[in-house]
């Protein structure tokens, strides 16, 4: 999977500047931007603020809050000058994304208090696309971004939203700016960066729909794998995640995680849920490791971290797993992680771990 983010930011900003550049002689202060309460000028300043803010958090490794600054335009800056600011701040975010290490994460509140470099890029693209739409509405000029950009935003920030007829229509609906047949209007929304859980030596990194699609098609999903990876079980799990996304039943926090070794940033396996919890709070899990990573306790460590996170939730009461009868190594992992053998049938032994163990 090619590096994602910087090019998309640059493309979105260039299209924004070209679109709004056709109306620089208009009064942006006196025109409301679409359904927003801001004027078009205030909205353009907001876009530039977000672009530079995302760049600063990512490049500055902010972990607890936004970097405490904001931009201020010189008195007398006209609309052309404001677009120059948007273009410059977009270039800074694109550069920050392109130069950030693969595993870099920095503060953003929604929903898990961090985002990676692709997440920051997708948020920047979202701000540009959606607010250019708002300003274009207010100024009554045409605007339709590339569908690939809208899909980029959806597959990295809206994994809980089922794809609609087109990515752009879906993104407008998901952010309360449009309608889709058969779906209720959206009045409140938040995008969702991916969940990352920390274990002793590993990070469990949530896989997003775009990454799952790449894995299912034989790619690396944007991860750097050790030799022999990813294992086939991870590719199969990515396929199930993708199917859930496409059918509208995917809950991102109950998806699939890549197991990334902290010492070198390389992925060694996959771990995740078969679905969201059922009505009784029961959820099934599965996992695999690349052969070269086995025998080091990684699977047990990752499973314990996932179990601790899941069983601390109100909607999970028990975790369930099955193994092949001959896979004694996998059975030993489950036992070491605290699971108890509860049944055995023709498909192999089943194990369970209940809350309050």
How many CB atoms lie under 10 A from the CB of residue 19? 20
Do 112 and 254 share a structural domain? no
Predicted confidence at residue 256, as pLDDT, reads 98
pLDDT band at 224 (very low <50, low <70, confident <90, very high): very high
Average pLDDT rounded to a whole number, residues 111-123: 97
Number of H helices, E strands in the chain: 10, 10
pLDDT band at 347 (very low <50, low <70, confident <90, very high): confident
| Segment 141-169, tens digit of pLDDT | 999 999 999 999 999 999 999 999 999 99
Report yes or no on 81 lying in a domain: yes
Predicted confidence at residue 3, as pLDDT, reads 72
Average pLDDT rounded to a whole number, residues 344-348: 70
Q: Assess contact for 6 and 92: CB atoms under 8 A.
A: no
Q: Assess contact for 94 and 6: CB atoms under 8 A.
A: yes
Report yes or no on 191 lying in a domain: no
Average pLDDT rounded to a whole number, residues 37-64: 98
- Predicted TM-score (pTM) of the model is 0.96
Domain count, the chain: 2
Report yes or no on 150 lying in a domain: yes
**Least confident among 10-19, 164-173, 243-252, 336-345:** 336-345
Cβ-proximal residues to 165 (8 Å cutoff; 6+ apart), any chain: 180
Do 202 and 79 share a structural domain? no
| Segment 256-311, tens digit of pLDDT | 999 999 999 999 999 999 999 999 999 999 999 999 999 999 999 999 999 999 99
Ranges of beta strands (E only) in 147-265 are 196-198, 202-206, 256-261
Closest alpha carbon to 322 in 302, 352, 300: 352
Do 146 and 107 share a structural domain? yes
Predicted confidence at residue 195, as pLDDT, reads 97
| Segment 58-100, tens digit of pLDDT | 999 999 999 999 999 999 999 999 999 999 999 999 999 999 9
Predicted confidence at residue 333, as pLDDT, reads 96
Report yes or no on 1 lying in a domain: no
Predicted confidence at residue 77, as pLDDT, reads 98
Do 221 and 303 share a structural domain? yes
Q: With pLDDT > 90 as the criterion, what percentage of the chain qualifies?
A: 96
168 forms beta bridges with: none
Q: Answer whether residue 345 shows pLDDT above 90.
A: no
Average pLDDT rounded to a whole number, residues 226-235: 95
Q: With pLDDT > 70 as the criterion, what percentage of the chain qualifies?
A: 99
Do 200 and 152 share a structural domain? no
Q: Assess contact for 306 and 271: CB atoms under 8 A.
A: yes
Q: How far is CA 291 from the centre of its chain?
A: 28
Predicted confidence at residue 50, as pLDDT, reads 98
Do 267 and 143 share a structural domain? no
Report yes or no on 187 lying in a domain: no
Do 142 and 223 share a structural domain? no
Report yes or no on 338 lying in a domain: yes
Predicted confidence at residue 348, as pLDDT, reads 82
Do 142 and 86 share a structural domain? yes
Phi, psi of 135 (to 5 degrees): -65, -40
Using alpha carbons, list the distances in angstroms from residue 239 to 197, 249, 285, 305: 22, 14, 15, 24
Report yes or no on 210 lying in a domain: yes
Do 204 and 63 share a structural domain? no
Do 316 and 256 share a structural domain? yes
CATH number, domain with residue 41: 1.20.120.450
Q: Answer whether residue 346 shows pLDDT above 70.
A: no
Do 285 and 155 share a structural domain? no
Report yes or no on 180 lying in a domain: no
Tokens 């070491």 belong to residue: 336
CATH number, domain with residue 349: 3.40.630.30
Boundaries of domain holding 236: 196-354
**Least confident among 19-28, 197-206, 346-355:** 346-355
- Tell me the angle at which helices 117-139 and 6-20 cross, rounded to the nearest 10 degrees: 10
What is the residue-averaged pLDDT of the chain? 96
| Segment 7-33, tens digit of pLDDT | 999 999 999 999 999 999 999 999 999
Do 169 and 130 share a structural domain? yes
């Amino acid at each position: 999977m090619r590096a994602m983010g910087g090019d998309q930011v640059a493309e979105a900003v260039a299209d924004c500047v070209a679109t709004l550049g056709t109306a620089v002689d208009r009064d942006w202060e006196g025109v409301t931007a679409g359904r927003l309460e801001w004027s078009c000028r205030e909205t353009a300043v907001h876009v530039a603020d977000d672009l530079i803010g995302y760049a600063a958090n990512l490049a500055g490794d902010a972990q607890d809050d936004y970097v405490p600054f904001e931009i201020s335009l010189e008195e007398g800056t006209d609309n052309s000058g404001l677009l120059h600011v948007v273009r410059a701040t977009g270039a800074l975010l694109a550069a920050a994304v392109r130069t950030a290490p693969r595993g870099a994460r920095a503060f953003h509140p929604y929903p898990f208090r961090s985002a990676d470099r692709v997440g920051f890029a997708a948020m920047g693209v979202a701000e540009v696309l959606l607010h250019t739409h708002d300003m274009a509405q207010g100024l009554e000029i045409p605007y339709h971004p590339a569908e690939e950009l809208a899909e980029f935003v959806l597959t990295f920030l809206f994994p809980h939203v089922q794809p609609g007829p087109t990515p752009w229509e879906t993104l407008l609906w998901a952010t309360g700016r449009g309608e889709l047949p058969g779906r209720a209007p959206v009045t409140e929304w938040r995008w969702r960066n991916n969940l990352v859980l920390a274990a002793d030596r590993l990070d469990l990194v949530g896989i997003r729909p775009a990454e799952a699609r790449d894995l299912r098609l034989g790619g690396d999903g944007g991860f750097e794998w050790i030799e022999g990876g990813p294992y086939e079980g991870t590719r199969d799990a990515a396929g199930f995640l993708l199917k859930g996304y496409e059918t509208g039943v995917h809950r991102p926090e109950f998806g699939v995680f890549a197991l990334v070794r902290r010492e070198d940033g390389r992925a060694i396996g996959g771990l995740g849920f078969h679905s969201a919890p059922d009505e009784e709070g029961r959820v099934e899990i599965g996992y695999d490791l690349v052969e070269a990573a086995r025998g080091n306790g990684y699977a047990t460590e990752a499973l314990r971290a996932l179990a601790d996170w899941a069983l601390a939730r109100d909607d999970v009461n028990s975790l369930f797993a099955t193994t092949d009868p001959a896979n004694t190594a996998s059975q030993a992992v489950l036992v070491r992680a605290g699971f108890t053998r509860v049944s055995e049938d023709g498909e192999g032994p089943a194990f369970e771990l209940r809350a309050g163990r």
